Structure 1
Amino acid sequence: MSDLIQHLTDQTFTEAVAHGTTVVDFWAPWCAPCRELAPITETLAAEFKGKISFAKLNVDDFTPLSEQYDVLSMPTLVIFKDGEPLDRIVGSLPIDQLRTRIQQVI
C-alpha cells in the first residue's frame, strides 16, 4: 500500500477525520469487493492529493468504530468533512462514479 492512504486505528481515527475532507474505506481482508476497490482508491488518492485525505479502517480489528458509523456492508466509503460524515458509498463502484461522488462533496 502506498503512503497516500493512511491505515487508521481506534487511536488515530478521530484526529484523521477531524480537519478537511477525508474518505475512509471501511474494509476487511476477506472481502473480495474490498480488494477490488483498493487500487481504485489508490488512484483517487493520487488524483486528489493535497485536496482530500484517504484512509482505511479494518472493520475486523476495529468493530466498534464500524458499528458507530453503521457500516453493515463492505466496502463502505464514508466521506467526512471536518469530523462529520457527509456521504456514504456502499459497494464497489466504477472509478468514474466514485470520482463524481467525491467531487460533489468538495
Structure 2
Amino acid sequence: MAHKFTDDNFEQEVLQSQVPVLVDFYADWCGPCKMMAPVIEEIAAEYEGTVKVGQLNVDEAPNISSKYRVMSIPTLLFIKDGQVVDTVIGAVPKAQLTDKIEKIK
C-alpha cells in the first residue's frame, strides 16, 4: 500500500529514508491523478521493502509542493539520499515509472 506523505512526516519518511522514494504529488480533484492512483498502488506493492512509494496531496501540503516547484499534477519525484534524482510530470505508463525506479534502486 502506498504511504501518505504530509508536511509533518515528509522529512523523516522521504528525505531521511534509507531506500529510494517515489513521491506522487496529486490532488483529489485531478483527473489524471485519479488515473495514476492504481498504478502507484501496484508499484508500491511490487517494490515494498526496496522502494518507498507514496502520495502527497498538494492541497494539504502546499509548502512542500512549492519547495519542489510542483506546478502541474501529477508530478512524480524520485528521491534518493534526500535528493531529487528524477522527475515525471503527467500521467504516464507504469513501465516508464518502473524503468526509472530500476535505475535508482
TMscore range, shorter length: over 0.9
Equivalent residue pairs, number: 103
**Match of 2:31?**
32
Determine the C-alpha separation between the residues in 2 that align with 1:9 and 1:95.
24
Question: Normalized against structure 1, the TM-score is what?
Answer: 0.93
Q: CA offset at residue 70 of structure 1?
A: 0.9
Determine the C-alpha separation between the residues in 2 that align with 1:78 and 1:90.
9
User: How high is the sequence identity, in percent, across the aligned residues?
Assistant: 38
Residues 1:8 and 2:43 are matched in the alignment: no
Question: Normalized against structure 2, the TM-score is what?
Answer: 0.93
What SS does structure 2 have at the residue aligned with 1:104? helix
1:6-60 superposed Cα distances (whole Å, 9 cap, x missing partner): 1111110010111221101000000000000000011111111111001111001
Question: Which runs of at least 4 in structure 1 moved beyond 2 Å after TM superposition?
Answer: none
Determine the C-alpha separation between the residues in 2 that align with 1:104 and 1:9.
26
1:41-99 superposed Cα distances (whole Å, 9 cap, x missing partner): 11111111111001111001111110100111100010111211111111110111111
Structure 1, gaps ≥5 residues long: none
Structure 2, gaps ≥5 residues long: none
